[in-house]
Amino acid sequence: TILVLDFGSQTSHLILRRLRSLGVFAELLPCTTKIADLSWKPKGIVFSGGPSSVYDEGSPHVDPAVFDLNVPILGICYGCQEIAWRIDSKNVARGAAREYGHADVKIAKVNEHVDRLFAGLGDEIPVFMSHYDKLVSLPTDFVVIGATKNSEYAGIAHQEKPIFGVQFHPELEHTPRGTDILRNFSVDICGAQPNWKMGDFVQLEIARIRELVGDRALVLGAVSGGVDSTVGAALMREAIGDRFKAILVDNGCMRLNECEQVKETLGKHLGINLTVVEAGDLFLSRLAGVTEPEKKRKIIGSTFIDLFEQEAIRIEKEAENTPNTGKVEWFLQGTLYPDVIESLSFRGPSATIKTHHNVGGLPERMMNGQGLRLIEPLRLLFKDEVRAIGRQLGIHESLVNRHPFPGPGIAIRILGDVTKERVEIARQADNIFISMIKEAGLYDEISQAFAGLDTNRSVGVFGDQRVWGYIIILRAVRTKDFMSAEVFNFDNAFLANVSRTICNQVEGVARVVYDLTSKPPGTIELE
Ligand code: XMP
């Protein structure tokens, strides 16, 4: 096992993800973990990046005992600065400019010991940088193994000990050879065995669910039609059959025909016990006049919980009257790893970007009042891993491959306050955009695409008439993990055609624009 010590970067868990994709088992713990408290000895340790400055008072630091373990260490960004700063605090300072985005690292060939980290990568590799602070001098006993125009010490290695540091982020997709670097570190330098398999996950998880839930208890779960909740539900159904009760709350902000599709796929095809609560009008009335994105999320989250609770009480009553049936004791959440990280980060130092409404969980009164416990079979997984499991469970490819859709739905794709009319316009535009993407055979090349709506209106001319209509914002990105993303490159003729079709077919739209912002700095959703 490799230990990843987390300094609070938004991408720390991706280090884990990459290691796991190599078959190397890894665990993520806070950077402040005391080595004496560990019950196992790691084969190697990675220090993640983080938002702080090593030289500031109160910044997080590792337990110095990690260096006495005598196992290989790799510091990434802040982690690299931590290594250098511990040797001499003058080694790290604020750079002249923030370095953000693409850079080319020239690889230095020094000797067999230090060259191991970049072995097999050639003379130069493109990398992704995101830092302000940097190493301004080389720590004693270290040598330079890589440099960029802006960072003289983009890669460093101790001359004798297996300690390495990189200023860039090998865990991000935008460092294409990053996984090779992590393989060099974990397998070759640390000697970790690359034999951990995803395939074992389903059987282990089903067994774990059966053991947790026992022979009689019921499990409730919310489903949305997305791949995560569907896979979570399918796993539960596989494990405990009809004792799993799925609830779909229609919040009035779902995609065109989505509710029907969920009934068809989950109810009919997967044989899951499903109840649909139609509540669009209630959600929209509570959202009236609300523009602040976090407030929208909170309203949708709490309304969802109110309705879910009512339904839970009904199911509970029904169970009481059914012989040989236990109580509702568990609540399924389709939480994924990135949700956990971006929302209620368990790590002190990182910033909350958005509150994902499906993560906060049920209120105290349900969890403690009724004694419900959480069951989160997907908690350790990333999106592409969930898809792989969906296929293993026989879920249809069109659902497994479906672009993700946020719980608050179209409400967070409308910039400004949400009305039924605006949801309908965004929904129609989205359907046109997605249908045209599918017709062009581009759907599977894109990770997530949608049409959102700006409630500011723009003037246009249709025929001889002046119109004053909404602006539709098209967004399409490519990403593996949804933590960072690049904009999809359509050709202009395609986009012009989408624009024309939306303006012609969706009343109330005067203009269509394409969003060219990558993530970061933009997020995937508009809000
Ligand atoms: P962002 O917009 O944060 O999105 O770049 C990353 C991924 O998360 C989805 N997302 C959400 N999912 N509830 C959800 O269930 C939410 O509140 C939420 N916000 C964003 C988004 O669709 C993308 O796939």
Domain coordinates in residue numbering, the chain: 2-189, 199-400, 419-514
For the stretch 161-185, pLDDT in tens is 999 999 999 999 999 999 999 999 9
pLDDT in the model for residue 9:
87
In this prediction, residues 202-228 reach a mean pLDDT of: 91
Is 80 exceeded by the pLDDT of residue 340? Answer: no
Alpha-carbon distance of 275 to 525, in angstroms, equals 28
Q: What is the mean pLDDT of residues 30-45?
A: 91
Least confident of 38-42, 311-315, 348-352, 366-370: 348-352
Candidate from 14, 340, 354, 518 with most ligand 1 atoms within 8 A of CB, to mutate: 354
447 lines ligand 1 (CB under 6 A): no
Does 359 score more than 70 pLDDT?
A: no
Q: Is the pLDDT of residue 350 over 80?
A: no
**Bigger pLDDT: 42 vs 355:** 42
Mean pLDDT of 217-223: 93
User: For the domain with range 199-400, which CATH number is right: 3.40.50.620, 3.40.50.10190, 3.40.980.10, 1.10.287.70?
Assistant: 3.40.50.620
Query: Is residue 482 lining ligand 1, measured as CB closer than 6 Å?
Result: yes
CA distances, 418 to each of 49, 303, 404, 505, 524 (Å): 38, 15, 21, 21, 19
**Is 31 a residue of the active site?**
no
Q: Is 226 in the pocket of ligand 1 (CB under 6 A)?
A: no
State the pLDDT at residue 367. Answer: 67
253 as an active site residue: the answer is: no
What is the mean pLDDT of the segment spanning 338-351? 49
Atom of ligand 1 nearest to the CA of 403: 24
Our answer on whether the CB atom of 357 is closer than 6 Å to any ligand 1 atom is: yes
How many Å lie between the centroid of ligand 1 and the Cα of residue 169?
Answer: 23
Rounded CA separation 404/343 (Å): 17
User: Do the first three CATH levels of 199-400 and 419-514 match, i.e. the same topology?
Assistant: no
- pLDDT score of 345 more than 60: no
Nearest to 283 by CA among 297, 294, 271: 297
Is the CB of 297 within 6 Å of ligand 1? yes
Say if residue 22's pLDDT is above 60: yes
Peptide bond into 408 cis (omega under 30): no
CB of 383 shorter than 6 A to ligand 1: no
Q: By percentage, how much of the chain surpasses pLDDT 70?
A: 93
* Range scoring the smallest mean pLDDT among 55-59, 198-202, 401-405: 198-202
Catalytic-role residue among 13, 158, 169, 174: 169
Q: Mean pLDDT, to the nearest integer, of 303-318?
A: 90
Surface-to-core class of residue 206, CB atoms within 10 Å of its CB (0-12 exposed, 13-18 middle, 19+ buried): middle
Classify the complex by whether its ipTM is higher than 0.90, answering yes or no.
yes
Does the beta carbon of 164 sit less than 6 angstroms from any atom of ligand 1?
no
The arithmetic mean of pLDDT across residues 215-230, rounded, is 92
419-514 folds as GMP Synthetase; Chain A, domain 3 (3.30.300)
What are 471-515's pLDDT values in tens digits?
999 999 999 778 889 999 999 999 999 999 999 999 999 999 999
Which option is the CATH number for 2-189: 3.40.50.880, 3.30.70.20, 2.60.130.10, 2.40.110.20? 3.40.50.880
| The pLDDT of residue 269 is above 80 | yes
Q: Report pTM.
A: 0.69
Residue found under tokens 């109160």: 58
Q: Is the CB of 404 under 6 A from ligand 1?
A: yes
Q: What does the pLDDT read at residue 369?
A: 66
pLDDT value at residue 360? 45
Mean pLDDT of 2-25: 89
* Catalytic site residue from 31, 77, 80, 190: 77
pLDDT at 57: 93
Query: How far apart (Å, rounded) are the C-alpha atoms in residues 78 and 291?
Result: 36
Q: Report which protein residue has its CA nearest ligand 1's atom 24.
A: 404
Cα 305 to averaged position of ligand 1 atoms, centre (Å): 19
Active site residue 169: yes
Which residue's C-alpha comes closest to atom 10 of ligand 1?
406
User: Are the C-beta atoms of residues 494 and 440 closer than 8 Å to each other?
Assistant: yes
Q: What is the pLDDT of residues 396-413, one digit of tens each?
A: 888 899 998 998 999 999
User: Which atom of ligand 1 is nearest the CA belonging to 224?
Assistant: 15
In tens, the pLDDT along 142-159 reads 999 999 998 999 999 999
User: Mean pLDDT: which of 253-257, 330-334, 339-343 is highest?
Assistant: 253-257
Average pLDDT value for the chain: 91
Q: What is the mean pLDDT of residues 322-329?
A: 87
Going by CA atoms, what residue is nearest to atom 17 of ligand 1?
A: 356
